[in-house]
A and B are shown apart, each in its own frame.
Chain A
Amino acid sequence: MLFNSYTYLVFFLPITAGLYFLLSRRERHGEGKILLILASLGFYGYHEFRTLPVLLASVLVNYFSCTLFNAVAPRRRKPLLVALLLFNLGLLVYYKYSGFLVSNANSLFHTGFSMPNLLVPLGISYLTFLQIAYCVDSYRGVVRNNSFLNYTLFAVFFPKVISGPIAHHNEILPQLDNPSTKTFSWQNLSTGLFLLSIGLFKKVVVADNLAPYVNFGFDQAQSLNFFSGWATSLGYTLQLYFDFSGYTDMALGSALFLNLKLPLNFASPYKSTDIRQFWQTWHITLGRFLRDYLYIPLGGNRRGKLCTYRNLLLTFLVCGVWHGAGWLFFLWGFLHGIAIVVHRAWNQTGIRMHRVPAWFLTFNFVNIAWIFFRAREWEDALKVLKGMVNVQSIGWEGVQLRQFFVYYLKDHQRHALEILAGVQGGEAMILLVMLCITAFVIVAGNSNRYLENFTPRFRHVCFFVASFLFFVICNTYLAVRSEFIYFQF
């Protein structure tokens, strides 16, 4: 089920929240949790029911194994942890990476192993990290005893089950038994609604409208020139941010309907003036997990410079591969790892860069690295990069925007896009639009401030109505509905 669908917004969310508070009002909290678990499984199964057993099996194995940590002798706890980690990582590798591994083994050793045709369970990457954190903390003895209902609800809670945030158990589990979360709150409802409208706006108005141009540039265009190259790469940089942060806003908003607060995942990452700051503000919960459960256990910065650099690089390689089974993701992780290492080395020189060039450098590094993240093939990435440096292509025939709009208005979007691919007047305009959106992202605040302190004003009502109306128009009249990009990871 998509957040940006009628099924979710008109039926699923209001009905689930309504029934939950009805049960809470009658002090039937256990039933309330069961309702949320069933709703979450329904939400997940509506999207892909065939992988539901995998999700359930993983939750069951993890919960009951973790309860054993207190029961077994201390010397047996480590093997249990190792077994659990192997189980979780094995599940992830089997479903997500086996095809990739087999195809690489075939090319490397000239073997002919058949490619497994597996249906990858949605959200398995998120679930794996979330459960690994729980297992490790159980092993460390810092997890209190949690009921099966609480753990299951924490693991499969519908707003975050498919694409995060990768909530830490310490953030969610205590809320589940907190009496204040059992009573209906107008404040949470209004904040949740407003966050939903912000998420919808980001997704439906911005990300989905950038998507055709980005898809055309990456997947269909034979070649790109300077303007279309930059417009394509910037387009994706913006699309990804608006799509994923829009999803997160909707997840946070949906959870607030049920009085639960999910952790923040974004804090204006494109305003960052260095790569470290970028990772402290982009997909915050992933960065936090990798820091706490990979970088620090590897030794962090405690074993000298070289080990620190090695640990950083390894952490980012894992980060890259976590996003997908492919060498381009590996390269993307490697680039970020190198950037972090360079940044750390630079910091030790004591030289400080002015904010503006620092931002420019960081933003453009991130923008260029996203090309490898988005491209399906090496050739696509190189095509976009070649276009971006093709300065000679500037100044072709002149502006033909009129032609573009004539096609566009007459429902010939395909022709319009084809024109844009070849006509630089249109491309220059598209690039200008991308730059304007970038400027907006840099100047404007983010939605996080509403989470803690939302004071309703009439302008918020207007924004809410406009955002939902646009969604209705797109869904009903334009038949536009797309999945969130991060579903694939």
Chain B
Amino acid sequence: MNTDDLIVKLASDVPPVKRSAVSRRLGLGIAAGAAVSAGYALLMWGARPDLDVAMHSFSFWMKWAYTISLAFGALALTVQLARPETHRLRWLWLLAIPVLLLASVGVFELLRTPQTQWLAMWLGHSWKTCPWRVLTLAMPIFIGLLWSFRRLAPTRLRLAGAAAGLAAGAFAATVYCLHCPEASAIFVLTWYSLGILLAASFGALVGPRLLRW
């Protein structure tokens, strides 16, 4: 096609674009993916039986505060990497805050617990399945983000993939809190974070291939 015709064709479809279009589109992809993840988690594993009681407990909100703040930190990075001319990532260091806070809660818990129970506290009942379940729940969210990226313009594909994976993992962990009854900070710090990191690594691995445009 000749270039002038192409321009005429392109200019026939010029809908207004909101300033917040990039974050909206990413938010939409995440929301759609998270809805699928939540449906899957509730159908396959069910909500934790004591969910209504747990919602009033410290440990439940500690877990959510951790996963939700990581999720929004990762989302802030993803928004930046969705633009082509991003040279410099801002707010990367913010991700360290929830990790450090949870680690301090963990240390505090360990100090209050007899040493003989440390291992049980660390491994909980579900350390073998937890990271994999977080990774599983991250997949629909990651796919939602891939859909978002189809109209975005990342140029550092591996980093963008990693950021999208990190966000998908952290939102997946947030969903998983609805099912998982584990309560100790070091459990969450280890096994939730491992699941989230697996999702981020997966994103970094497939980013260059799947985010290409």
* Chains A and B belong together in one complex: no
Binding site for B on A (CB under 8 A): none
